[in-house]
Chains A and B, each alone.
Chain A
Amino acid sequence: MPSLGADMEAGTLVEWLKKPGDRVVRGDVIAVVETHKGAIEIEVFQTGTLETLIAKPGQKVAVGLPMAFIRGEGEGAAAPAAAPTSQEAQPTPRVAMPPPPGPLTVPPLTAPAGVRASPAARKRAAELAVDVKRIAGTGAGGAITLADVEHAAAAPAPSPIDAMRQAIGAAMARSKREIPHYYLAHTIDLEPALRWLEEENAKRPPPERVLYGVLLLKAVARALHEYREFNGFWTNGRFQPSERIHLGVAISIGKSGLIAPAIHDVDNLPIPQLMSALRDLVARARRGGLRSSELSDPTITVTSLGEQSAETVFPVIYPPQVAIVGFGMVLERPWIVAGAVVPRRVISCSLAGDHRVSDGHRGARFLSAVARLLQEPQSL
């Protein structure tokens, strides 16, 4: 079961899309898993032959536990697969869908310091994908017992809305606890970009028109070329920059919350393709059908509040990322151009950065680079 973000502890298998004996290629969608982020299409990380299915439809599987065995190309017959009984039983080779290498943080299945639980209770909690931190212990001194774990696992599942809200809360609490945020905001003259886009859109029928948010995404991605310390992950106590620029795009899901899946390699996508990618991503975020890689690998997030919102957003970093860029609503304001006051449409661009990796001086230069790129929209 891959981790689809720092806030995920387990997923429920909805269906297998491949059967034993099928050949699978890295990137193939082989299963659908239900999480608090909706039904997610799980991509396989290894090429080979699907040997054994371990997880059954309807089964809840903790992050990091095996769901199936895959025999890699050129490998002999796989060892007999047994259903996992604990995290220790997790085999390392031939696991169909390990958490992708690199930036992901797998939430600990054992209790952190401060939570008292018997070894049997911890083992059972891992098997049942129950978070011991959320269990009230009834044992001696408030210790969590095996019965407490089983009681908690049997409790009715929270509604999807509550589950998403809880997951957002858990990720944001972790962010505020662990990441020393600093904040900057810069007002950008968006008039040149908007005028250019209006001229371009006037030449195109509605299906080919581009939203200004696409220009904002492209400008951020291009600016990241020069400011690498905002693009990557904080893992194992140090910063790992990412060569590729996968922008997580915050998408509102009605009243239930929000989700920030990635558009991959935004810096290399021409504007029309980036618009298509955004349209497709928004549709799948709301309707279902996001893929596991889109949830697990954003290297930085961009949140754009859009029309009828607020002037400036002070966003919270989504761990293990180290920065988030926010855009407020476009406002018409008196602006000084060549010594004269003129009406201009402007937008507030804000940055929350991780002080373990960068500081406000570099952050300010990064925002200036975004502003500069938006003055020449035809070059984006």
Chain B
Amino acid sequence: MTDKDIRRIVLNALSGVAPELDEAALELDKSFRDQIDIDSMDFLNYVIALHDALAVDIPERDYPLLASIDGAVAYLSAQLKAAGKY
């Protein structure tokens, strides 16, 4: 598992809840909640997709860290390393 793999998983999870997502136009270091129109149900489904794909624990209090693509990659790689899966 590399950062590139995780980035792909994050982008897939996000396009799963926002099918109209234009990946090329997305600013990866900024919160995507300001760039695409998703609600709390969409965000929860995005978290569920990450949880299902990577089998890592994602407590609710960490949700803000997942709100940008770069932030999500950094957070998830740290969680995977802690679990010995990276």
Contacts and interface: CB of A to CB of B under 8 A. Distances in A.
Nearest to A211: B40
A201 B60 contact: yes
Given A201-B60, A202-B60, A207 B51 contact: yes
A307 interface: yes
Contacts, number: 36
B47 A206 contact: yes
A279 interface: yes
24 contacts: A198-B60, A198-B61, A201-B60, A202-B61, A205-B51, A206-B44, A206-B48, A206-B58, A207-B48, A207-B52, A209-B60, A211-B40, A211-B44, A213-B40, A252-B37, A252-B39, A254-B20, A254-B37, A278-B41, A279-B41, A279-B45, A282-B41, A307-B40, A308-B34
A254 B19 CA distance: 11
A108 interface: no
A28 to B, nearest CB: 29
A93 interface: no
Q: How large is the interface on B (under 10, 10 to 19, 20 to 34, 35 or more residues)?
A: 10 to 19
Interface string A223-255: 000000000000000000000000000001010
Contacts of A306: 39-40
A213 B59 CA distance: 19
B33 interface: yes
Interface string A196-216: 001001100111010101000
A249 B59 CA distance: 27
Contacts of B51: 205-207
A207 B41 CA distance: 11
Interface in A268-323: 278-279, 282, 306-308
A187 B48 CA distance: 32
Nearest to B41: A282
A144 B48 CA distance: 56
Nearest to A307: B40
Given A211-B41, A278-B41, A307-B40, 17 more contacts: A198-B60, A201-B60, A205-B51, A206-B44, A206-B47, A207-B48, A207-B51, A209-B60, A252-B39, A254-B20, A254-B37, A279-B41, A306-B39, A306-B40, A307-B39, A308-B33, A308-B34
Interface of B: 20, 33-34, 37, 39-41, 44-45, 47-48, 51-52, 58-61
Contacts of A213: 40
Residue among A206, A209, A278, A308 with the most chain B CB within 10 A?
A206
Interface of A: 198, 201-202, 205-207, 209, 211, 213, 252, 254, 278-279, 282, 306-308
A49 B37 CA distance: 46
Residue among A198, A282, A308 with the most chain B CB within 10 A?
A308
Nearest 5 interchain pairs by C-beta: A206-B51, A206-B48, A206-B47, A201-B60, A306-B39
A209 B44 CA distance: 8
Contacts of B52: 207
Contacts of A254: 20, 37
Contacts of B45: 279
A201 B40 CA distance: 14
B42 to A, nearest CB: 9
Contacts of B60: 198, 201-202, 209
Residue among B37, B41, B52, B60 with the most chain A CB within 10 A?
B41
Nearest to B43: A307
A205 B50 CA distance: 12
B55 to A, nearest CB: 10
B44 to A, nearest CB: 6
A233 to B, nearest CB: 28
Contacts of B37: 252, 254
Nearest to B59: A202
Contacts of B41: 211, 278-279, 282
Contacts of A282: 41
Contacts of B39: 252, 306-307
A368 to B, nearest CB: 26
Contacts of A307: 33, 39-40
